[in-house]
Amino acid sequence: MTISVERPAVSEAVLVSRVLRHLSKLGRVVRWGVELNGHGSAHIDVCAYIGGEVIGIEAKLYDWRRAIGQAALNRYTVDRSYIAVEPRRATAEVAELAARYGVGVLCVGEDSLVVYQEAKLLSPDPRLRDRTFGRLKTGRRA
């Protein structure tokens, strides 16, 4: 009998670095691991300032439900909130659940980053949003 075990194509850190690399090519300000007051000790995996908007991205290889949960809670801090998944994880099921919380889906491959589903424009808490923006501006890591 052969037991097939699904192996990750990349590690989560690689997924995050790919997001950073792709966004950096766009010339945007990007930080990794920005502390989010609202989450207590948790961090947003990637934070970016693109087109005048603060963007938060949670990257996950497997537990995309958890990623959506975390991204949904980023709504108090960022203007748009995304999850980043490998191309094979970007499915209608993921997009549907993400959409319920206004969360967008980024499909991240080695050579590409595609917006699989656009995130809803949120109304973050102004103070938290400004603080995150300030960190992006200064490049200060939390």
Structure tokens at 91: 């499915």
How large is the angle between the packed helices 92-100 and 64-73, nearest 10 degrees? Answer: 20
Residues 6+ positions from 39 with CB-CB distance below 8 Å: 70, 73, 74
Out of 115, 125, 140, 141, point to the residue binding another protein (CB under 8 A). 125
Which of these, 41, 35, 71, lies nearest to 56 by C-alpha position? 71
Structure tokens at 59: 């990257």
Out of 88, 127, 137, 140, point to the residue binding another protein (CB under 8 A). 127
Question: Does 38 sit near another protein (CB under 8 A)?
Answer: yes
Q: Residues in contact with another protein, total (CB under 8 A)? A: 23
Binding mask 47-76 for another protein (x = CB under 8 A): ----------------x-xx-xxx-xxx-x
Cα–Cα distance for residue pair 25/139, rounded to 1 Å:
17
Out of 47, 58, 77, 117, point to the residue binding another protein (CB under 8 A). 77
**Residues in the site for another protein, rule: CB under 8 A?**
36-42, 63, 65-66, 68-70, 72-74, 76-77, 97, 101, 125, 127-128
